[in-house]
Amino acid sequence: MGRSICITSGKGGVGKTTITAALGCAISNLGYSVVVVDTDFGLNNLDLALCAEMQVVYNLADCLEGRCRIRQALLQDAEHENLYLLASTQPYTYKPNKKAWKACMQELEDMFDFVLIDSPAGVDANWQFSVEVCREVLVVVVPQLASLRDADKVLSLIEPMQKEGVGLIVNRYRTEYVVQQKMLSAQDIEEALHCEVVGCIPEIDVLTVASVQEIGIHMQYFENIAQTIISGEKRVITTHTPKLGVWNKIKKIWSRSAI
């Protein structure tokens, strides 16, 4: 039985799709079979992130509606033989059949070591079900108050679901800003959200088209997270514990509004 992990967030645009695609590559580089599944119906971009948009014939909706078998909809990645994509569908109005979706997930878990779901941002019905069908959840945050408050909200919705594992990925992390106390550290975020940080990804300046091909040498950050996920070990990249200052006042405001 493979591990199903939902990569999700409260706030949109924080890097879920980029991270799902890159983690898929990183985990498959470590020798595991991986399928990345786009459940962001209507706002689907995972095919673009993997540069596979021209190859998509069948998508997840076709599988759920019985127009094709799952194997027919799986696209093998051009560069990673252990990595497959199950793309999503365009109409935003598409309402997936939950029973079929659950059955599809079970089939994927039987076929692959890892099933990574690129979910929509919280918290509509498709978000809810994307999280529900997975055993584990990774919530992506950027070190900004709006993202943290939304993450706090989705974590409170995830908690009653009793997942096998819930962690945070801090994206667009800038160590130099943390040192200058202009940005929350990974440790601060962990404390504020009461959730373990699985890893941090820095701001990657070359990410202009948002495809994995641009990640290049920065793939090491995703490989670190992949190793942490596989081993179950916690390897947090923290560089600094901010002292009292303006930033701490902002944090106090944040903690008041989060409760």
242 lies in the site for ligand ATP, by CB under 6 A: no
Closest CA to 183 of 197, 163, 168, 203: 203
Instruction: Provide the token pair at 135.
Output: 């055993």
42 lies in the site for ligand ATP, by CB under 6 A: no
* Residue 12 contact among Mg ion, ligand ATP, none, beta carbon within 5 to 8 Å by kind: ligand ATP
Concatenated DSSP letters of 99-160: HHHHHHHHHHHHH-SEEEEEPPSTTSHHHHHHHHT-SEEEEEE-SSHHHHHHHHHHHHHHGG
Instruction: Provide the token pair at 83.
Output: 């990595």
138 lies in the site for ligand ATP, by CB under 6 A: no
131 lies in the site for ligand ATP, by CB under 6 A: no
Q: How far is the CB of 102 from ligand ATP (least distance, A)?
A: 23
Q: Are 45 and 17 in contact (CB under 8 A)?
A: yes
By CB under 6 A, which span of 38-46, 55-63, 79-87, 186-194 interacts with ligand ATP? 38-46
* Residue 157 contact among ligand ATP, Mg ion, none, beta carbon within 5 to 8 Å by kind: none
Contacts 24+ apart (CB under 8 A), 93-100: 93/42, 94/41, 94/42, 94/61, 96/41, 96/60, 96/61, 96/64, 96/126, 96/129, 97/64, 97/65, 98/129, 100/63, 100/64, 100/65, 100/66
17 lies in the site for Mg ion, by CB under 5 A: yes
Q: How far apart are CA 170 and CA 190, in angstroms?
A: 10
Q: How far apart are CA 85 and CA 94, in angstroms?
A: 20
Q: How far apart are CA 130 and CA 98, in angstroms?
A: 10
147 lies in the site for ligand ATP, by CB under 6 A: no
By CB under 5 A, which span of 12-20, 54-62, 104-112, 229-237 interacts with Mg ion? 12-20
Closer of 8 and 185 to Mg ion (Cβ): 8
20 lies in the site for Mg ion, by CB under 5 A: no
40 lies in the site for ligand ATP, by CB under 6 A: yes
Closer of 40 and 188 to ligand ATP (Cβ): 40
Q: What are phi and psi of 141, to 5 degrees?
A: -130, 155
Closer of 17 and 28 to Mg ion (Cβ): 17
14 lies in the site for ligand ATP, by CB under 6 A: yes
Q: How far is the CB of 252 from Mg ion (least distance, A)?
A: 32
13 lies in the site for ligand ATP, by CB under 6 A: yes
Q: Which residues bind ligand ATP (CB under 6 A)?
A: 9, 12-18, 40, 43, 45, 121, 171-172, 201, 203-204, 207, 210
Q: Which residues bind Mg ion (CB under 5 A)?
A: 16-17
